[in-house]
């Protein structure tokens, strides 16, 4: 009927009504989405460095991948080119190898090594008149050295080390930087290669590259390589090398770039992770204030190694610890003890435990600077590793603290905190807790208040737990538990029988905790 | 002759002593000794213990074993025993020895000290934060990277689509990366169908159509 067609026509002019839903949907898809301008064909076809064998079948058959795999040379051609005498071929082959070695997934490190190309690459490193070749070779060798120890060994065994050290002085910054990177990989393999590099005088060669106008990217690589030269124990780096590196490290620590700061802090953390003599070398540079400052850095990648460094320093002598305290570490520690990341909390608790292992004047500073509340929080809420460190802090505190300081500690809730941890599985932790309790009793004895303390501990549920520990499988635990019960919870009671508040001799004061004072 | 003990290990926790090295405390129970071995102990100065063994032919072999460290302590049937690490032997050869057989009071004292005294207190490295440390080695990646699924990343969600290349492609946001890129819809449909479905579902709109009455 004509009328219907007219109506339909009119309706079809409306935006959505009467239109085929499928067509509408298509239109929406193509119209409503915002996309970035991407060169799509280019980006599809820019699939680099894939060999067919490394792909699952369906991908291998896709035309995109096939066309691109043909863009890079197959290995036989690379070998032929690299071994040729023609500079252009060498460069082409070396570049192709470099691209293979740079691919994101499964770079064929071993294939390149097994193809016997390394000695050629090392030769290329020395060709100062062919900087492109030098650069490609340096990059290729860098990536091989980034593999396992075996890979790194191949690079070193082919004589790359002196060549790379020489390249540090290259007038071409990108080549020098590549050498820095390669040497970083070699040093990072372990103490042996690290010390070989140091013997070859790599340190002065590296330090000579630091200048006011050195680009940040270069400095990042340099700092990382320096940190690897400070890294590893058994043995530690030679003290002479450390002395050489430190002044530059201090300089780098005053810059603003977060990557430079992070690696500099890691370097300091390695250098301070040793005996007190090693710590001394670090502390004497005066860097501790800056480290404390960096503990509050907004980047976790900086704060973490700064905290580690300070943690190492306060594991040293009382004097060394005092340097950190004077630099304000106690103001910074509380927020780290409350940090959302568990490992940060743990390291902060560990640092605190070492400060608490100091003389009572340092323990006093812990109290004054408000370290007890976060400590108690950690005992209550921390994950187990954090709690373990916090327990050590408490025990160290009770061991070195004055009677008054121990009372302070108990009043802060720390005693309750450690009592609640008596049920953990870790026998060592239990022993540390019981030593703390013992120490607290020793303080109570000086005040003549051991009974009050026994009551308090019972009130807090500690007596029950300690009684149960008399059945613990670890003999040191049950002996310690038994000794505690005998000494402070005895008075003729049968071991293991719970004391009833109606029994004679015990006044069970429900408010004991609140009014408890030694 | 090395006395051979078959350990049944009752491991305690991996632990740190204040000196900073890892001490793995293992308790080993002694099996029955070979019947013809009668270990007799003579006292030697310092940290040595001499085990004298007689074999069937009544020959006496005297060998000296040097205690390197005292690792643990226990009480068995009223006797105090110490777990000893022997110098020159691996930890597998650690043995429990009765207290009265030993003459290494300084090593025992050192052990007891390490167990009870926290107030020497300072403990080096909290240990296992290795994961946080900076990389030991770094590979230099190509500046022109792989694209799409070849990057080996997990799809997070699709943020756009187009067919202006001639086929339908999606703009894919990957997990743990800020760099989104294009993937063919066919590939995505196969590899992450749920992600594709989510994309379409988010964009579904329902429409009502005019009824017969409304047309008039």
B-chain CB neighbours of A260 within 8 Å are none
Give pairs for A50-53: CB < 8 Å, separation 24+.
Answer: A50/A103, A50/B146, A50/B150, A51/A100, A51/A108
Task: Render A159-198 in DSSP notation, one character per residue.
Answer: THHHHHHHHTT-SSHHHHHHHHHHHHHHHTT-HHHHHHHH
Which residue from B69, B74, B68 is spatially nearest to B12, judged by alpha carbons? Answer: B74
Place of tokens 């032929």: A80
Q: Is the dihedral of CA A400, A405, A407, A410 positive or negative?
A: negative
* Nearest-angstrom CA–CA distance, B187 and A209: 49
Backbone angle region of A237, left / alpha / beta, with phi > 0 → left and psi within -120 to 50 → alpha: beta
Please, how many CA atoms are within 13 Å of residue A148, restricted to the half-sphere of its CB?
5
Question: Is B138's CB within 8 Å of A358's CB?
Answer: no
The pLDDT of residue B19 is 43
State yes or no: ipTM above 0.90: no
Select the residue from A52, A154, A396 to test the B interface by mutation, using most B Cβ atoms within 10 A.
A396
Residue B173's nearest CA partner among B144, B195, B206 is B195
Q: Residue B213 has what pLDDT?
A: 62
- pLDDT tens digits for A253-267? 999 999 999 999 999
pLDDT in tens, A286-313: 999 999 999 999 999 999 999 999 999 9
CB B155 within 8 A of CB B174: yes
CA A449 vs. chain centroid, Å, equals 46
Is B165's CB within 8 Å of A43's CB?
no
Cα torsion angle, A287, A290, A295, A297, sign: negative
Q: Please tell me which of the candidates A30, A146, A314 has its beta carbon nearest to residue B139.
A: A146
Please judge whether B118 and A395 are an interchain contact, meaning their C-beta atoms are less than 8 angstroms apart.
Answer: yes
pLDDT along chain A (518 residues), means of 10: 62 61 66 52 44 40 40 85 95 94 90 96 96 96 97 98 98 95 98 98 98 93 98 94 98 96 97 94 98 97 97 96 98 98 96 96 98 98 96 97 96 97 95 96 94 96 95 93 92 48 37 43
d(CA B101, CA A58): 73
| Nearest Cα residue in chain B from A194 | B136
Total-model pTM? 0.66
Residues in CB range of A440: below 8 A, 6 or more apart: A398, A406, A409, A410, A415, A453
- A contact test, residue of B17, B71, B117, B129 with most A CBs within 10 A: B129
Give the pLDDT confidence score for residue A192 in this predicted structure: 97
Strands (E), A312-383: none
Chain B partners within 8 Å of A184 (Cβ):
137-138
The residues facing B184 across adjacent strands are: B169
With b meaning 16 or more CB within 10 Å and e meaning fewer, what string describes A16-55? eebbeeeeeeeeebeeeeeeeebebeeebeebbbbbeeeb
């Amino acid at each position: 009927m004509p009328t219907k067609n007219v109506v339909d026509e009119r309706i079809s002019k409306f935006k959505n009504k009467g239109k085929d839903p499928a067509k509408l949907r298509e239109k929406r898809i193509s119209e409503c989405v915002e996309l970035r301008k991407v060169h799509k064909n280019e980006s599809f076809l820019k699939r680099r460095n894939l060999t067919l064998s490394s792909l699952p079948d369906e991908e291998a058959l896709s035309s995109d991948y096939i066309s691109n795999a043909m863009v890079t040379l197959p290995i036989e051609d690379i070998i032929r080119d690299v071994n040729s005498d023609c500079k252009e071929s060498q460069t082409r082959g070396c570049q192709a190898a470099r691209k293979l070695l740079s691919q994101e997934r499964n770079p064929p490190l071993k294939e390149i090594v097994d193809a016997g190309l390394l000695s050629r690459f090392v030769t290329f490193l020395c060709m100062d008149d062919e900087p492109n070749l030098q650069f490609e070779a340096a990059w290729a060798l860098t990536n091989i050295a980034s593999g396992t120890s075996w890979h790194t060994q191949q690079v070193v065994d082919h004589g790359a080390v002196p060549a790379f050290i020489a390249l540090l002085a290259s007038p071409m910054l990108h080549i020098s930087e590549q050498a820095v990177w390669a040497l970083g990989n070699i040093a990072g393999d372990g103490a042996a290669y690290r010390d070989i590099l140091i013997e070859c005088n790599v340190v002065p060669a590296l330090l000579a590259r630091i200048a006011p106008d050195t680009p940040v990217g270069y400095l990042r690589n340099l700092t990382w390589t320096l940190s690897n030269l400070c890294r590893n124990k058994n043995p530690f780096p030679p003290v002479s090398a450390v002395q050489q590196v430190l002044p530059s490290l201090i300089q780098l620590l005053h810059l603003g770039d977060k990557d430079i700061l992070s690696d500099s802090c890691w370097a300091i953390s390695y250098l301070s992770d040793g005996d007190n003599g090693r710590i001394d070398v670090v502390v004497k540079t005066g860097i501790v204030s800056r480290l404390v400052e960096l503990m509050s850095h907004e980047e976790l990648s900086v704060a973490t190694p700064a905290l580690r460094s300070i943690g190492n320093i306060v594991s040293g002598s009382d004097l060394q610890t005092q340097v950190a305290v004077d630099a304000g570490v106690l103001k910074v520690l509380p927020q780290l003890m409350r940090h959302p990341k568990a490992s940060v909390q743990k390291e902060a608790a560990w640092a605190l435990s070492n400060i608490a292992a100091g003389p009572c004047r340092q323990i006093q500073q812990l109290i004054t600077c408000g370290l007890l509340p976060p400590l108690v929080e950690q005992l209550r809420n921390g994950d187990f590793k954090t709690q373990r460190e916090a327990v050590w802090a408490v025990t160290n505190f009770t061991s070195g603290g004055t009677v008054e300081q121990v009372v302070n500690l108990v009043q802060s809730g720390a005693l309750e905190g450690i009592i609640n941890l008596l049920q953990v599985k870790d026998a060592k932790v239990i022993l540390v807790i019981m030593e703390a309790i013992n120490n607290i009793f020793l303080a109570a004895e000086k005040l003549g208040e051991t009974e009050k303390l026994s009551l308090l501990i019972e009130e807090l549920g500690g007596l029950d737990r300690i009684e149960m520990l008399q059945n613990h499988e670890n003999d040191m635990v049950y002996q310690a538990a038994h000794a505690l019960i005998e000494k402070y919870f005895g008075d003729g009671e049968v071991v293991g029988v719970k004391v009833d508040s109606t029994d004679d001799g015990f006044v069970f004061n429900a408010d004991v905790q609140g009014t408890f004072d030694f | 002759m090395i006395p051979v003990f078959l350990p049944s290990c009752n491991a305690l926790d991996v632990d740190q002593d204040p000196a900073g090295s890892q001490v793995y405390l293992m308790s080993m129970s002694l099996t029955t000794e070979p019947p013809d071995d009668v270990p007799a102990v003579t006292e030697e100065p310092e940290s040595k213990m001499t085990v004298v063994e007689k074999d069937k032919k009544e020959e006496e072999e005297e060998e000296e074993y040097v205690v390197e460290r005292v690792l643990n302590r226990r009480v068995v049937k009223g006797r105090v025993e110490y777990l000893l690490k022997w110098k020159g032997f691996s930890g597998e050869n650690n043995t429990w020895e009765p207290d009265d057989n030993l003459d290494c009071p300084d090593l025992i004292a050192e052990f007891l000290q390490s167990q009870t005294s926290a107030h020497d207190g300072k403990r080096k490295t909290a240990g296992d934060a290795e994961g946080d440390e900076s990389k030991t080695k770094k590979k230099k990646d190509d500046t022109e990277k792989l694209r799409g699924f070849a990057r080996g990343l997990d799809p997070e969600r699709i943020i756009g689509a187009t067919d202006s290349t001639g086929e339908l492609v999606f703009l894919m946001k990957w997990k743990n990366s800020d760099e989104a890129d294009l993937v063919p819809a066919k590939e995505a449909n196969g590899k992450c169908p749920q992600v594709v479905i989510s994309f379409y579902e988010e964009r579904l709109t329902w429409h009502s159509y005019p009824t017969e009455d409304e047309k008039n």
